Each structure stands twice: as structure tokens, then as C-alpha cells.
Amino acid sequence: MIGIVNYGAGNIFSLTSALDRLDLPYGMINEEADLDKYTHIIIPGVGHAGTAMKKLDQTGLVAPIKALKKPVLGICVGMQLLTQHSEEGDADMMSIVPVKTRLFNKDQGIKIPHMGWNNITHKNNPLFEGVKNLTQFYFVHSYFIEYNPTFDIATAEYGMPFSAAVQKDNFYGVQFHPEKSGAAGERLLKNFSNLKH
């Protein structure tokens, strides 16, 4: 069963609706003891990464999350929380994946936020099982995770290549919103629920 880290960063109605549509049961994680109740953990997140990190810190869940050995999926800002540092609020993140979250550079002639459907090239990670390469996912973000070949499992291009998805051990992160990415996004959520570590 999936546990959703409930730390007050953004609305999770769309995520729980997607899980309902997929018949994937879930519950909420409010404190450390709740982490034991679930096999798979989702860290959602919308809004400001620095603020989100502060809120997560206040729940006391950072250290227990870092110690997890079960599959964890960070979505959007939830993914950025897995990184070392974010330029948004110049804030230290959880440092699970040693990469940085940076602001898109508008001097590259791109509009910010990066909003809409963009295609991804993935590296046959189980998270993307059954998802064709160059499938589009729905993105909406102004900060991105720098491309690092060691942790990148899916790449998108916006002004430059960036990581649409990363993995380190049992920790996964996706920059797009699977809950808003049509059938492909639903497939990804289903794949996550089937991951074993």
C-alpha cells in the first residue's frame, strides 16, 4: 500500500484521485511511525522548494525518510526535495541524490515556467515499463534538476537537457506530474506501485 507524505506542501487531491482511478490503495503519513504502515512512499509537492523543505523538516520526517529502504517516489517539488540544494530560496534539501536544483535560464529564449507536455527519453528503468520513448508528460515548474548521467533515468529538453526523472537506490523522483499526464502518467504510478526493493 502507498503512503503519501502529508506535510502541507500543495494540494494532493489530483494525486489521490489518480490512485483511486487506478484502484491503488493509499494512506497518509503524518509521523515517523506511519512510515512502517506502507510498502511504497510518495512525496508530493507543489510550490516553493525552500518552503516545502522547511515544512517537511517541521514534521520530523527527514531523517526517517532518508533511512528508508522501500521504494520512494518524489513528484515535482517532492523530487527536488531529494536533491542536495535548490536555488529556489537558496535552500538545502534532503541530500539523498547528489545533484542540484536550479532555475531555468530565460536568457536561453525559453519561457518560464516550463509548462505543458514535453517528451522524455528514458533509460528502460522499471519505472517506465510499458512507456514508449518520446512519450509526453505534463510538466509545470520553473526550477529543474541538473542532468547527471549517474542518476538520470529520463531526460527532457528545455533550453538544455535536464533530468525528467532520477533514481538513486530505492529513491525515485519525477519532475513531471504523473497524475496529470494522461495514460502514460497512470502507467508510471502503477509501475511505481509494483517496484520491489
Partner 1 sequence: MLSKRIIPCLDVKDGRTVKGVNFVDLKDAGDPVELAWQYAQQGADELVFLDITATHERRGTTIEMVKSVARQLNIPFTIGGGITSVADAEALLNSGADKISINSAAVRNPALISDLAKAFGVQFVVVAVDTKFVEGRNMVHLNGGRLITELETEDWILHAESLGAGEILLTSMDHDGTKNGFDCLLLDKIARSINIPVIASGGAGRMEHFTEVFLQTGVDAALAASVFHFGEIPIPVLKEELKKHNIPVRL
CA-to-CA separations, 67 to 3, 70, 169, in angstroms, rounded: 16, 9, 12
Which of the following is catalytic: 40, 114, 122, 177? 177
> Of the listed pieces 66-74, 79-87, 93-101, 134-142, which binds partner 1 according to CB under 8 A?
134-142
Q: Is 155 in the site for partner 1 (CB under 8 A)?
A: no
Within 13 A of 131's CA, how many CA atoms are on the CB side?
A: 30
User: If you write DSSP's letter for every residue of 122-189 in order, what string do you get?
Assistant: E---GGGTT--TT-EEEEEESEEEEP-TTTEEEEEEESEEEEEEEEETTEEEESS-GGGSHHHHHHHH
Considering the rule CB under 8 A, would residue 119 count as an interface residue with partner 1? yes
In whole angstroms, the minimum distance from the beta carbon of 197 to partner 1 comes to 27
70 by Cβ neighbours in 10 Å (0-12 / 13-18 / 19+) ranks as middle
User: What does the DSSP 8-state code read for residue 9?
Assistant: S
Q: Which of 40, 88, 114, 179 is catalytic?
A: 179
Is residue 175 close enough to count as binding partner 1 by CB under 8 A? no
* Of 18 and 96, CB closest to partner 1: 18
Is 177 part of the annotated catalytic residue set? Answer: yes
Whether the bond between 44 and the residue before it is cis, its omega within 30 degrees of 0, is no
Q: Of residues 76, 85, 88, 114, which has the active-site annotation?
A: 76
Q: Which of residues 8-27 bind partner 1 (CB under 8 A)?
A: 11, 13-14, 17-18, 20-21
In the complex, what is the shortest distance from the CB of residue 59 to partner 1, in angstroms, rounded to a whole number? Answer: 20
- β pairing state of 171-174 and 160-168: antiparallel
Q: Which of 48, 75, 173, 195 binds partner 1 (CB under 8 A)?
A: 48
| Interface residues toward partner 1, by CB under 8 A | 11, 13-14, 17-18, 20-21, 46-48, 106, 111-119, 136, 138, 140-142, 157-158, 177, 179-183, 185-186
Residues annotated as catalytic (active site), given as ranges: 76, 177, 179
